[in-house]
Chains A and B, each alone.
Chain A
């Protein structure tokens, strides 16, 4: 009888296509909106990932990597003296303005790295060498968004705070949430590039000694210095949490996803209802001929499960295709497997809820209806 159920479903082309395309659309929108949300959240913590330090030390009032309170220079020495610390280096990180050759200004994310170790330098260089940073006036730029700096090549220059910056390398650095170009230089030079403030040190990057757990070092730093310290993961989640709490992104995406669910329910529910009405005679005939209610329920559930799975596969496939086509460009798009599972659950929930309408009608159907014309 399950085969009959499938033939009843697939044979009614218009309703079948409406159901599948409706659910595919729901699934696509869910994946697309969810992936944009995940992509945006992932971008908020890109600056943390690109630095890649084991432990981050900051002011206790730190809210996110983009909203730091600078430390005293002496804090670096205090951290270095904490038990379990293998090394500690300064990190300058601030948004500054670059004056381009055409006279326009552009905000960039300026990283000032420890000149001796260059801890936090870009992992993958597309052109040039990161060791060239120690040459006078030298900076490395990230490839992403470099067109906003006029797509400079190695040897090209621009001005930061009336000082010349000469490009000595181009790195493969992913876009972050603010989508400003990345500029790397040494810590000392970054202090010259940025407008002077009373305190300049944004973060201290720390590595734990061999055999000492980072969590233990973090605890030691907090106890000894009173400063805040985080693992890389802790720093990522702190930043994500800040954007979740302080921007309208979760509400906007949440509204979109709720609308997707409601529209999906409306399409699937209405089509299933029309399907149930149209097939009432045949379900009545099957009931009269001795098909049990349990078998009829199984038939309807199979129909809804089938359209759900096909719709989900098409929608998810299309959603992932959008992500794949837009790889590397400005669209923030990240599809974790958890999102696929949530989308799967949502699509099937819509199908199951919609099929309840059919099930209710069929269960209430008197087989004697077949003799009414």
Chain B
């Protein structure tokens, strides 16, 4: 079930969040993870979401990506009111619009690098041979043309994250969400991955949101949104301010 053009509104931002709230639990155990979030992500931008553990970064990322429902507010992603979509339409929305990069890579260990990259194409029913061929092209883009038939366990952490980047890009999504993409990598590999990421993933009609704790990669963000206790407390354009 594809998102139809009629369901799109005109948009100025890749992501536009207005008064977004999210609460977990009830009674004494209730936790307000997001409180009246106002945030816009521009097209062609790489936005970093930073803040201490438990401040709501990952929750916000999940709400943007349509894998978690907000309680209140407007979640607009490339003109699609994600907060208004049914679960089935949200699944379709993610298929069409979102690319994911995870801290633990989440590469399926029994598939080769090429097959892992091909998964988003297989999900949209691309024939296997065509999907794997395109996956190999994307692996070449991230410098892994020699490793296409390797299994994840045969790759280093940096190589696995590059496979994950190729997987996030292969279906040409408009919004790429990354959760701590360099947390499992050493400093140099993390920088290499981010350089490659900016080079291959950023374009005028695409936006990238990265949740990170890693201040070594702050320089790769166009803007840095700082969170504390479920709120955006500042948006910095100069990464030096954060160092």
A residues contacting B by CB (< 8 A) are 1, 3-4, 7-8, 10-12, 281-282, 284-293, 295, 366-368, 370-373
Contacts and interface: CB of A to CB of B under 8 A. Distances in A.
A218 to B, nearest CB: 65
26 contacts: A1-B122, A1-B123, A3-B128, A7-B108, A8-B111, A10-B110, A11-B109, A11-B111, A12-B110, A281-B104, A282-B106, A285-B106, A288-B65, A289-B94, A289-B95, A289-B100, A290-B92, A290-B96, A290-B120, A291-B91, A292-B88, A292-B91, A367-B94, A368-B68, A371-B67, A371-B103
Contact of A4 (B58, B62, B102, B115): B115
Interface residues of B, number: 32
A239 B145 CA distance: 74
Interface of B: 58, 61-62, 65, 67-68, 88, 91-96, 98, 100, 102-104, 106, 108-111, 115, 119-120, 122-124, 128, 179-180
Contacts of A370: 67, 100, 102, 106
B119 A4 contact: yes
Contacts of B109: 11
Given A288-B67, A289-B100, 20 more contacts: A4-B111, A4-B122, A7-B115, A8-B110, A8-B111, A11-B111, A282-B108, A286-B123, A287-B91, A288-B65, A289-B98, A291-B95, A292-B91, A295-B123, A367-B67, A368-B62, A370-B100, A370-B102, A371-B179, A372-B58
A295 B58 CA distance: 27
A327 to B, nearest CB: 43
Contacts of B95: 289-291
Nearest to A12: B110
A296 to B, nearest CB: 10
Q: Top 3 A-B pairs ranked by shortest CB distance?
A: A11-B110, A290-B95, A367-B67
A196 B202 CA distance: 107
B61 A371 contact: yes
A286 B167 CA distance: 12
B122 A368 contact: no
A281 B108 CA distance: 9
A10 to B, nearest CB: 7
A373 B106 CA distance: 11
Contacts of A7: 108, 110-111, 115
B54 to A, nearest CB: 12
B123 A290 contact: yes
A282 B180 CA distance: 18
B122 A285 contact: no
Contacts of A281: 104, 106
A295 to B, nearest CB: 8
Contacts of A293: 91
B119 A286 contact: yes
Residue among B106, B128, B179, B180 with most chain A CB within 10 A: B106
A288 B117 CA distance: 15
Given A1-B123, A285-B100, A285-B102, A368 B67 contact: yes
A3 B112 CA distance: 13
A373 B184 CA distance: 11
Contacts of B94: 288-290, 367
B119 A289 contact: yes
A10 B68 CA distance: 32
Residue among A3, A11, A285 with most chain B CB within 10 A: A285
A83 to B, nearest CB: 75
Contacts of A10: 110
Contacts of B100: 285, 288-289, 370
Nearest to A9: B110
Nearest to A13: B110
Contact of B108 (A8, A287, A290, A366): A8
Contacts of B128: 3
A289 B110 contact: no
A371 B102 contact: yes
A27 B207 CA distance: 55
Contacts of A373: 103-104, 180
Residue among B58, B91, B92, B98 with most chain A CB within 10 A: B91
B168 to A, nearest CB: 9
A325 B124 CA distance: 51
Nearest to A290: B95
A371 B110 contact: no
A4 B135 CA distance: 15
A295 B120 CA distance: 13
Contacts of B179: 371
Given A288-B100, A292-B91, A366 B67 contact: yes
Contacts of B67: 287-288, 366-368, 370-371
Given A10-B110, A285-B102, A371 B119 contact: no
Contacts of B124: 290
Contacts of B111: 4, 7-8, 11
Nearest to A2: B122
Nearest to A369: B67
